[in-house]
Structure formats: structure tokens, C-alpha cells
């Protein structure tokens, strides 16, 4: 276990360095810069700004200076948000994005697993057809389309939820449902496939032969073996929820990291965009490592190497 974690930490350092390098040169290669605007500052002020943020130095020197700051944990100062460091912006936006992601993932896992189990147990029935049709629809409809339809129906027509904002449970429910719906569809299909395979095995027939109820057989014996594909999917699902939250946060005007990331990219705020990319990379790597560790907990036959 310790060797596995050490190896993962080394890969994390390499991955962050590669992501930093690619992001740094990609941002510098895009036309425009953080000080380009419709109303440009006077040349003297622009020259002083570039000197303050080291834009007057060669690109290689800028790269090494920025890399040194990141290694020390300093993501720099935002070019567009006066008096705010990138660390402060991340600290403000992370709780919002984390709460949204946790709610969306919880909704996707609970609803998807429940629908998959019902479909597998009641295979080829009306329940199976209806739930799998809903899962396919959830996968096919992009979350920004779903969010737009949900706002029209549940905000303007029924007036059940507020249209935007953050701070209460009612403001959190609708963005989380729209963000988690496609992943609930994938999890439902994976759970159904896994359950149908497990339910045909000998030890399940033995459990039925011993007189156990269907609920005990499904929950105690079948679900544990059928859930492994879902656990494997949680890593990509987390990645999808993090990247999908950029659009959902913008639609519902949530002050999360996704909103800051979109604004940073549009305004060429190099340091803020770089900070967001590195934080997202760190989160994805951490979630994938946790998913790998969970294999050994769920299935003792899996060994960490």
C-alpha cells in the first residue's frame, strides 16, 4: 500500500508539471493578453504593468519564475481581480464547486444504482423498459440543454426553485440534478449489466435455494459483486462532473471555480486560469487514486501494486 501511494505521488508531481508546462505555453501562444481591452491603458502604465508581472522578460525566464512560484505553493496574483491572489479565489470558489459536485455525484450514484437494480431484477418488464429509456434520455441530453428546460419548467412555470444564486438548499438542488442526470444514466446501465451477470451465478441460485428473500439476495450478495463497474466509473464520472460544472455554474450564476475559470479564460487572466487548471488536475488525480484504493476494500482479491 505504501509503495503504491509513493508511486502515485511521484506520478502526481510529473502530471502536474506536464499540465503546467502545456498550459503555460498554450496560454502564451493565444493572441491577446491580460492587458488587452477595448480601452487600453496609456503606454507608460502598460509598460509598468508588464514589468510588475514580468511580461517584459523572455518567455523561458517567465516559465521558470512561474514554475518556481507554483512549486512553493504560490499561484500568484490575479491580473483581473484586484487585491485578490489566485489562492484566495480558489479558496472562495472551491466550497461551492465541491458542494455542487458532491450533491450531483450522490444523486447520480443513488438514483443510478437504484434504477439499475430494479431494471435487472425486473428485467424485460415495463419497469425495465421505462427506467432504461429514461437513462438513455439522460445520457443523450447535454446538461446545458437539460438546465435550460429545467429553468423554464421548474423556475418560471411551476416556480418550485429559484433561477440562480447560492446559499440555500433550494438553490443547490436544481444545478445538482442537471449536473448529475447524465451520470445517473450511465450508472443505471452499468448497474443493470453487472447485476444481470451476477444474478445468473451459482452462489445466487444457492442463496435462493436456502430460502433467502429476494431483497436479502440482491442487497447482501448480488449488489456487492455488481457494483465494481460502477466504482470504476466513479473516476471518469468525477472528471465529467468537474468539467461539466463549468457550464452549469455559469448558467445558474454560481460563484464556484467553474465560473472563475471561464472568466479567467475569456479575460486572459493567465495566473487564475493556470491555478484553476492545476487545482482541477489535482482533484482528478486524487479521485482516481481513491477509486483505485476502493477496489481493494470492495474486492479483497485485488492487490495494490
List, in order, residues 6 or more apart from 76 with CB less than 8 Å away: 66, 69, 85, 86, 271, 274, 275
- Alpha helices, DSSP H, located in the chain: 2-29, 43-52, 59-71, 86-121, 126-140, 143-150, 169-199, 202-209, 214-216, 223-226, 228-251, 257-266, 270-298
Residue 96 lies in a domain: yes
pLDDT of residue 11: 92
pLDDT digits (tens, 9 = 90+) for 203-241: 888 888 888 888 888 888 888 778 878 887 887 787 778
Establish if 144 belongs to a structural domain: yes
96-152 pLDDT tens trace: 888 888 888 899 999 999 999 999 888 888 988 999 999 888 888 888 888 888 888
121 in a structural domain: yes
Average confidence score pLDDT of the chain: 83
The 10s digit of each residue's pLDDT in 50-62 is 776 777 788 888 8
The three cell numbers locating residue 265: 479564460
Note whether residue 39 is domain-resident. Answer: no
Looking at the structure of the chain, the number of domains it has is 1
Distance CA(132)–CA(136), nearest Å, equals 6
pLDDT class for 10, splitting at 50, 70, 90?
Answer: very high
State what percent of residues in the chain have pLDDT above 70: 90
Q: Please state which of the ranges 51-60, 70-79, 256-265, 270-279 shows the lowest mean pLDDT.
A: 51-60
pLDDT at 265: 82
What are the angstrom distances between the C-alpha of 294 and each of 76, 219, 256, 291, 304?
35, 19, 28, 5, 10
- Model pTM score: 0.75
In a domain, 186, yes or no: yes
- Residue 92 has what pLDDT? 86
Environment class of residue 72 by beta-carbon count within 10 Å: exposed (0-12), middle (13-18) or buried (19+)?
exposed
φ/ψ of 85, rounded to 5, equals: -85, 160
CATH number of the domain encompassing residue 180:
1.10.3720.10
**Residue 95: domain span:** 87-298
Q: Which residues pair with 77 in a beta bridge?
A: 85
Is 62 among the domain residues?
A: no
What is the reported pLDDT for 6?
87
Over 12-65, what HEC string results? Answer: HHHHHHHHHHHHHHHHHHCCCCCCCCCCCCCHHHHHHHHHHCCCCCCHHHHHHH
The reply to whether 65 falls in a domain is no
pLDDT > 70? residue 19: yes
- Output the pLDDT for position 14: 93
Amino acid at each position: 500500500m505504501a509503495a503504491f501511494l509513493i508511486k502515485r505521488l511521484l506520478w502526481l508531481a510529473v502530471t502536474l508539471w506536464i499540465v503546467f508546462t502545456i498550459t503555460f505555453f498554450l496560454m502564451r501562444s493565444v493572441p491577446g493578453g491580460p492587458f488587452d481591452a477595448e480601452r487600453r491603458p496609456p503606454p507608460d502604465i502598460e509598460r509598468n504593468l508588464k514589468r510588475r508581472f514580468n511580461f517584459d522578460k523572455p518567455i523561458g525566464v517567465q516559465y521558470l519564475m512561474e514554475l518556481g512560484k507554483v512549486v512553493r505553493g504560490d499561484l500568484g496574483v490575479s491580473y483581473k481581480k484586484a487585491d485578490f491572489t489566485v489562492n484566495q479565489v480558489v479558496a472562495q470558489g472551491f466550497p461551492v464547486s465541491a458542494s455542487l459536485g458532491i450533491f450531483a455525484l450522490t444523486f447520480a450514484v443513488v438514483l443510478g444504482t437504484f434504477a439499475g437494480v430494479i431494471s435487472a431484477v425486473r428485467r424485460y418488464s415495463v419497469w425495465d423498459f421505462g427506467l432504461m429509456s429514461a437513462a438513455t434520455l439522460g445520457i443523450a441530453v447535454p446538461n446545458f440543454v437539460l438546465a435550460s428546460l429545467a429553468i423554464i419548467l421548474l423556475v418560471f412555470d411551476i416556480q418550485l426553485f429559484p433561477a440562480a444564486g447560492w446559499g440555500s438548499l433550494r438553490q443547490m438542488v436544481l444545478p445538482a440534478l442537471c449536473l448529475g442526470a447524465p451520470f445517473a444514466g450511465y450508472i443505471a446501465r452499468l448497474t443493470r449489466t453487472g447485476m444481470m451477470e451476477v444474478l445468473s451465478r451459482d452462489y445466487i441460485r444457492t442463496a435462493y435455494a436456502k430460502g433467502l428473500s429476494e431483497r436479502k439476495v440482491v442487497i447482501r450478495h448480488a449488489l456487492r459483486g455488481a457494483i465494481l463497474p460502477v466504482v470504476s466509473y466513479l473516476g471518469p464520472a468525477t472528471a465529467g462532473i468537474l468539467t461539466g460544472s463549468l457550464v452549469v455554474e455559469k448558467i445558474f450564476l454560481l460563484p464556484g471555480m467553474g465560473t472563475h475559470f471561464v472568466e479567467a479564460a475569456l479575460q486572459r487572466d493567465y495566473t487564475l486560469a493556470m491555478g484553476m487548471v492545476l487545482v482541477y488536475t489535482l482533484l482528478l488525480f486524487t479521485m482516481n487514486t481513491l477509486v483505485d484504493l476502493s477496489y481493494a476494500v470492495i474486492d479483497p482479491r485485488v492487490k495494490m501494486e
